[in-house]
């Protein structure tokens, strides 16, 4: 299974989700791959936000090797499931997929895997401090655990 995590700029939520999911894949010995990207291309080629990196390191994971990238139409073909971190990203991914005739059913709201039908977003911590990154970490860790246990 190939999994793609998507947030707005690929510098906060989705890099964290990529690495947390990678750790769950390893922990449970799952046959899966994971990557991340953003809707926008503002940070292409850059490493994740320093606060995201510090949060990951605090929990024993290193995301400093990741490089931000923007979603492509090929991603809709290359990945089995595409997880949006919030409702706006979900809608934007759908708007990209529909006119391009890409498989829209692959797009899922990340936290719906843990809380079906609640449409709970993972809030963007970019404008906040370290406490917001820690809260986002907890949500992402729980969400990835739920995804891993269903695989």
Q: Which structure tokens are listed for 8?
A: 């707005």
Whether 78 is a known active-site residue: answer no
Q: What average pLDDT is seen over the chain?
A: 94
Residue 117 has what pLDDT?
Answer: 83
Q: Where are the beta strands (DSSP E) in 1-151?
A: 2-7, 33-38, 81-84, 107-109
First-residue to last-residue Cα distance in the chain: 9
Question: How buried is 70 (Cβ within 10 angstroms: 0-12 exposed, 13-18 middle, 19+ buried)?
Answer: middle
Whether 101 is a known active-site residue: answer no
Segments forming the whole domain that contains residue 17: 2-150
pLDDT, tens only, 42-69:
889 999 999 999 999 999 999 999 999 9
* Domain of residue 84, CATH code: 3.40.50.2300
User: How many separate domains does the chain show?
Assistant: 1
pLDDT, tens only, 69-101:
999 999 999 999 999 999 999 999 999 887 767
Residue 49 has what pLDDT?
Answer: 96
Identified catalytic residue from 7, 12, 37, 144:
7
Residue 99 has what pLDDT?
Answer: 75
């Amino acid at each position: 299974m190939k999994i793609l995590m998507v947030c707005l700029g690929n510098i906060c939520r989705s890099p964290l989700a990529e690495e947390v999911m990678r750790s769950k894949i390893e922990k449970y010995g799952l046959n899966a791959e994971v990557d991340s990207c953003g809707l926008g291309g503002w940070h292409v080629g850059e490493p994740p936000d320093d606060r995201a990196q510090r949060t990951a390191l605090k929990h024993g994971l290193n995301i400093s090797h990741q490089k931000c990238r923007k979603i492509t139409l090929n991603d809709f073909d290359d990945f089995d499931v595409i997880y949006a971190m919030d409702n706006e990203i979900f809608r934007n991914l759908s708007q990209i997929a529909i006119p391009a005739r890409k498989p829209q059913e692959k797009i899922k709201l990340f936290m719906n895997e843990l809380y079906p039908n609640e449409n709970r977003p993972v809030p963007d911590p970019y404008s906040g401090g370290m406490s917001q990154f820690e809260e986002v970490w907890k949500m992402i860790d729980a969400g990835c655990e739920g995804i891993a246990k269903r695989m």
